[in-house]
Amino acid sequence: MSELLFAAAAGLPMAAGWSLHALRLRRRIETARRDPLTGLFTRDAFAERAMKVLAGGPSAVYVVDLDRFKEINDTYGHAAGDADIAATGRRLAEWADINAGTVVRLGGDEFAAVARVFSHADLSWTLVELTRAIEQPVTVDGRPLTVGASVGAVAYDPRADDVALSTLLRLADEQMYAAKRSGADWLTALDLTPQAGTVNNRRVGRPGTAGGTEAAA
C-alpha cells in the first residue's frame, strides 16, 4: 500500500507539469487565432464561427470600413490610429455578442461580421446600432477623435439560399464600397448576385487588383 502511495505521489509533479504545459499550449493557440491589436478572431477562426451562425438561421453578413481613418493617422500619429482600431474592435465585439454573431478584422481599418437577423426591419435596426456604436468618439491623450464608417450588408436565409461565405462577403463588400462612394452610412444588397467583376479574387477597384484604385478611407 505504501508503495502505491509513493508511486502516486511521485507522479503528481509530472501530472502537474503536463497540465501546465497543456494550459500554455492552449493559450498560445488561442493567441495565434486572434488579432494582436483588437483581440478579434483571425480569418480562419472567424470563418468557422461565421458558417455556424449562417447555418443556424436567418443572418446577415457585414463589411465595415472606417471613414477619415487615414486623416487621423496622418494628423495625430499611428498611436491615435491604433487606439481607434482597438476601440472599433471592442465595439464591434460587443455588438456581435448582443446579436449572436462574430466579427473579424480583415486588415487595416476594415472589419467583417456575421450576426443573426430575423427580418429586413431587424437588419436595418442592427445597421443603425452598428454605425452608432462605431461613430462614438474615442479619447486619445485627452482629445476626442471621431471616425465614421461605411457599411455594406447582405441578408441570408439558409432555408432558401445556398451561398458561400466568400460570396456573401463579396456582396457586402460591394455595398460597403457603394456606400462609401455615395456618402451613405450603409447600404444592403437587394439580391445574392454579385454586381462587380473580380481580379485575383478581389473586387475590381480594390487595392491589390491590377491597376485598381479605391476611394481613400
How would you write the pLDDT of the chain (217 residues) with one tens digit per residue? 555 445 555 555 655 555 654 445 444 444 456 798 899 988 999 999 999 999 999 999 999 999 988 898 888 888 998 999 999 999 999 999 999 999 999 988 999 999 999 888 999 999 999 999 999 998 888 889 888 899 999 999 999 888 999 999 999 999 999 999 999 999 999 888 887 654 334 444 454 433 333 333 3
What integer pLDDT is reported at residue 161 of this predicted model? Answer: 87
What integer pLDDT is reported at residue 28 of this predicted model? Answer: 46
Please list, residue by residue across 160-199, b when 16 or more beta carbons sit within 10 angstroms of its beta carbon and e when fewer do.
eeebebeebbbbbbbbbbbbbeeeebbbbbeeeeeeeeee
Short-list 50, 185, 203, CA closest to 112: 50
What integer pLDDT is reported at residue 67 of this predicted model? Answer: 92
The residues annotated with a catalytic role in the active site are: 109
The residue type at 22: A
The three cell numbers locating residue 89: 474592435
What integer pLDDT is reported at residue 202 of this predicted model? Answer: 47
What integer pLDDT is reported at residue 18 of this predicted model? Answer: 52
Phi-psi category of residue 100: left, alpha or beta, with phi > 0 → left and psi -120 to 50 → alpha: left
- DSSP 8-state symbol, 17: H
What predicted TM-score, i.e. pTM, was given to this entire model? 0.77
What integer pLDDT is reported at residue 120 of this predicted model? Answer: 87
